[in-house]
Copies of this chain bind each other. A is one copy, B any other.
Amino acid sequence: MPEVTFVQAVNQALMYEMGADERVVVLGEDVAATGGVFRATEGLVERYGADRVIDTPISETAIAGMGIGLAAEGMRPVVEIQFTGFIYPALDQLLNHASRLRNRTRGRLTCPMVLRAAGGGLIKSPEHHSDTPESLLAHVPGLKVVIPSTPAQAYGLLLAAIRDPDPVVVLETSRLYRALREDVPDDGVALPIGMSFVRREGTDLTLVTWGGMVPDVLAVADELAVDGIEAAVIDVASISPLDMGPILESVARTGRCVIVHEAARQAGFGAEIAARLADEGLTSLAAPVTRITGYDAIYPLARLEGRYVPDRRRITAAARKLLEYA
C-alpha cells in the first residue's frame, strides 16, 4: 500500500466518494481544468466529467450559496474556497443560510454540503492566504467544523463530512499538504466527526491542539520526553462539535494544560477549550491554563511570518513553565 500525502488523501477521498455516490459534485475555482491550485481535485473531472466537477466563476458568495441550493435538492456538494482568507464573502451563506436551513424548515430542507478551504501560514504565500478563521465558524450553531492534521484524518474526516447530513466546513492546512506521508487505505472508511484523538499519552501535562500545529506539538512532546516529561497530546480534529472528554480526562490526570493554535489568541478557539476547563475541569487544574497562539496581530508577510505562528520553542517554554507549579 503506497504512502500518500495529505493532499493526495484529500484527493483519494473525493475520488472514492464520487465513485460511491453519484450525488457528490465538486465545485469551486480552478477545481476542474487544473485540478485545484494544490491538486486536491486532480483527475476528478477526467474521471467523473464536467457535470460533476465544475469550475466556477470567482464568486465565493455564489459558490457557497449554490452549495446550499444543490444540497437542498438532494445533491452532496463539496465546494471549495481556494484559501481561508476568501471564505469571508461566503460567511453570510454559511451563517445565515447553510447552518439554519434544517431548523428553519423543521427538517423539510437540509443542507448536506461540505465546504473545503486551505489555510494556515508558513508557506510564504501572499496576504490573505494564511488565515485560520476556525473560531468564527465554531461559533455557528448548525455547522460542523473539522480540521484534519494527518493524511488519514484528511481522508477519513472528509469522507465523514461528505456523508454527514448537515453542513461541514473542512479546514485544511496547506503546509501539511505535502509535509506528511502515511499509509491511508482507500477503503472508504470514514473517521467520526466530533471526536478528539489522543495522539500521545502522558501524565505530566496535557497539550491540546489541532490542524497545522499538531506536528510541532508532537515534536515538543518528544523533546520533553527526552527530559522524562510525559506530555499527553490531544488532537481535537473536530472543533465543532467539540469532544471535551479526552481533554478533561487527561487534565484530570495532569492538572496542566497548554492549548496551542495558530490563529490569533483573543476569541480564538483555544478560549473555548480553556473556558470549558475553567468550568468543568476547574478542580483538576494545578496550574494556569496556557494558550500559545498566533499573536493578536495581522498575519505578517513572508519575511516575518515565522515569528507569528507559535514555534516549538514557545510551546516548550510554556510547557516547562507549567511544570514549575507544584
Residues of B within 8 Å of A287, CB to CB, are: 282
* Chain B residues closer than 8 Å to A92, beta-carbon distance: 88-89, 91
Segment with Cβ contacts to B, from A117-125, A132-140, A155-163: A132-140
Question: Do A89 and B61 touch across chains, with their CB atoms under 8 A apart?
Answer: yes
Inter-chain CA distance A135–B297, complex, in Å, is: 16
Pairwise interchain contact A275-B298, C-beta atoms closer than 8 A:
no
Distance A297 CA – B99 CA, assembled complex (angstroms)? 10
Among A273-321, those with CB < 8 Å from B are 274-275, 277-280, 282, 285, 287-291, 295-298
Contact segment of A9-17, A44-52, A263-271: A263-271
The residues of B that contact A263 with a CB separation of less than 8 Å are 139
Distance (whole angstroms) from the CB of A28 to the closest CB of chain B: 17
Residue in chain B with minimal CB distance to A127: B104
Inter-subunit contact B268/A139 (CB<8 Å):
yes
A128 contacts the other chain (CB 8 A): yes
A282 to B268, CA, bound (A): 19
The yes or no answer to A148 lying at the interface (CB within 8 A) is no
Across-interface contacts of A85 in B (CB, < 8 A): 96
Bound CA span A268–B293, Å? 18
Number of copies: 2
Q: Is A103's beta carbon under 8 Å from chain B?
A: yes
Tell me whether A135 and B267 are in contact in the complex, defined as CB-CB below 8 angstroms, given that A92-B89, A298-B100 are known contacts: yes
User: A136, B136: Cβ atoms under 8 Å?
Assistant: yes
A242, B295: Cα distance in complex, Å: 15
Task: State the CA gap A146–B314 with chains docked (Å).
Answer: 32
Set of chain B residues within 8 Å of A242, measured between Cβ atoms? 266
Asked whether A209 is an interface residue with its Cβ less than 8 Å from the other chain, the reply is: no
Contact with B along A136-157 (1 / 0, CB 8 A): 1011111000000000000000
A99 close to B298 (CB less than 8 A): yes
- For the complex of A and B, list the 10 residue pairs with the smallest distance between their C-beta atoms, beginning with the closest: A274-B275, A88-B92, A278-B278, A139-B267, A271-B275, A278-B289, A271-B271, A138-B267, A271-B272, A103-B298
- Partner-B contacts on A (CB < 8 A): 61, 85, 88-89, 91-92, 95-96, 99-100, 103-104, 127-128, 133, 135-136, 138-142, 240, 242, 263-264, 266-272, 274-275, 277-280, 282, 285, 287-291, 295-298
Q: List 30 A-B contacts (CB under 8 A).
A: A61-B89, A88-B95, A89-B89, A91-B91, A96-B128, A103-B297, A103-B298, A104-B127, A135-B139, A135-B267, A136-B136, A136-B139, A136-B267, A138-B267, A139-B264, A139-B267, A140-B264, A141-B296, A240-B266, A240-B267, A267-B267, A267-B271, A271-B272, A271-B275, A275-B289, A278-B282, A278-B288, A278-B289, A279-B289, A282-B289
